[in-house]
């Protein structure tokens, strides 16, 4: 996020300089419309990046995780790979694909919603 913030500052400065340098009128048009177009493209890319960061889910405390059997990503103590898990009554948290019970000493530490599943073009899995 800090990198995007720095990029935004640099882009804002470049735009301000461009506005001061390239102001024109009907008799004196801006001198560098290609450079301005490049700045606009860069600004649009930066805005898309910031929007994606804001839309990205963050880890939530386990107390707020759904307990209705919905699969979610779970951070497990001692693992650097989040696992798809669900909560089962009388069992607790289990790995979604094999129902392996997560021992209390392994967490879970936090959760986030699963990402939208990828689909191949033209394939209907409904």
pTM: 0.52
Query: What pLDDT shows up at residue 118?
Result: 61
- The C-alpha atoms of residue 45 and residue 38 are separated, in whole angstroms, by 11
| Domain residue extents for the chain | 2-25+32-55, 62-113
68-115 confidence digits (pLDDT tens): 999 999 999 988 899 999 999 999 999 999 999 998 888 899 999 988
Mean pLDDT, rounded, of the chain: 76
- Which range, 17-21, 24-28, 67-71, has the best average confidence (pLDDT)? 67-71
Residue pair 84/115 in contact (Cβ under 8 Å)? The answer is no
Higher pLDDT, 98 or 16: 98
């Amino acid at each position: 996020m800090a990198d995007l913030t720095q990029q935004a500052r640099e882009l804002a400065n470049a735009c301000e300089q461009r506005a001061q340098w390239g102001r024109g009128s009907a008799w004196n048009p801006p001198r560098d419309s290609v450079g301005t177009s490049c700045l606009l493209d860069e600004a649009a890319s930066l805005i898309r990046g910031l929007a994606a960061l804001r839309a990205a889910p963050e880890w939530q405390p386990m107390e707020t995780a759904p307990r209705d059997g919905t699969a979610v990503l779970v951070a497990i103590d001692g693992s650097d790979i989040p696992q798809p898990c669900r909560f089962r009554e009388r069992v607790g948290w289990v790995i979604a694909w094999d129902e392996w019970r997560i021992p209390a000493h392994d967490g879970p530490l936090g959760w986030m919603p699963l990402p939208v599943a990828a689909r191949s073009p033209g394939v209907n899995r409904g």
